[in-house]
């Protein structure tokens, strides 16, 4: 049977910094027929882009550390070491977001960039997708505190050697999905990147 769904009702139940929508819907069942009407809330956050900033000459990545409200119940603290990321604003392409956020959050100019993957962040409750890239940077010029004051950003930049990055990954110091995916991709593609990105532009 062809997979189908039908929306019976939709309401906006919260409209603030983000938006929450409530749906009544039905969908087809694997064994045939239609489900009973079900009610689901959908967190409408928008769509995001993240960039793993990698220096093939230094064999190091540029990471960022910042406070995360979603991790208030973290056993240690809600400051996460992550990769550069930001929301797609109206009229922007994914690559434009990647370049903008790399400067805003890490003070890095991206030279070359490679697409990694696009995925739904948590499709059980939000429509947000993440487009993941790897960007070539000069890590010797990275450091300091960055972020936009009017967005209340306070972002500390870390330059992490590849071997140290692997230790952080193995010790559970990277504990959000996007940097974990990015580091695993780098593990599989590092040799190729170091060869390809060693050639002049």
Same-domain status, 39 and 138: no
**Contact yes or no for 99/115 (Cβ under 8 A):** no
Indicate if 151 belongs to the active site.
Answer: yes
CATH of the domain at 81: 3.90.79.10
Q: Catalytic residue, from 2, 90, 149, 151: name it.
A: 151
Same-domain status, 33 and 114: no
Q: Is residue 133 part of a domain?
A: yes
What would the pLDDT profile of 94-109 be if each residue is shown by its tens digit?
A: 999 999 999 999 999 9
* pTM for the full predicted model: 0.90
Same-domain status, 138 and 192: yes
Same-domain status, 76 and 174: yes
What whole-number distance in Å separates Cα of residue 4 and Cα of residue 26?
9
What would the pLDDT profile of 31-61 be if each residue is shown by its tens digit?
A: 999 999 999 999 988 899 999 999 999 999 9
What whole-number distance in Å separates Cα of residue 120 and Cα of residue 122?
6
Same-domain status, 21 and 100: no
When mean pLDDT is compared across 93-97, 149-153, 169-173, 181-185, the lowest value belongs to 149-153
Supply the pLDDT for residue 145.
87
- Residue 30 belongs to domain spanning: 5-44
Number of domains in the chain: 2
Write the CB contacts of 129 (distance below 8 Å, at least 6 apart in sequence): 47, 48, 118, 119, 120, 121
CA angle 174, 180, 182 (to 5 degrees): 130
């Amino acid at each position: 049977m062809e997979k189908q769904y039908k929306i019976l009702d939709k309401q906006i139940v919260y409209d603030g910094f983000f938006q929450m929508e409530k749906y009544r819907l039905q969908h087809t069942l694997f064994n045939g027929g239609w489900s009973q009407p079900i009610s689901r809330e959908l967190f409408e956050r928008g769509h995001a882009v993240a960039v793993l900033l990698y220096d093939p000459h230094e064999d190091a990545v540029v990471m960022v550390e910042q406070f995360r409200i979603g991790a208030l119940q973290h056993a240690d603290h809600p400051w996460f070491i992550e990769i550069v990321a930001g929301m797609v604003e109206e009229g922007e392409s994914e690559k434009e977001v990647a370049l903008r956020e790399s400067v805003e959050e890490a003070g890095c100019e991206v030279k070359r960039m490679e697409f990694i993957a696009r995925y739904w962040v948590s499709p059980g409750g939000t429509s947000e997708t993440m487009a993941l890239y790897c960007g070539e940077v000069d890590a010797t010029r990275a450091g300091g505190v960055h972020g936009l004051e009017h967005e209340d950003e306070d972002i500390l930049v870390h330059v992490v050697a590849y071997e140290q990055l692997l230790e952080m990954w193995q010790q559970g110091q990277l504990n959000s999905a996007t940097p974990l995916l990015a580091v695993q991709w780098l593990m599989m593609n590092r040799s190729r990147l170091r060869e390809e990105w060693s050639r002049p532009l």
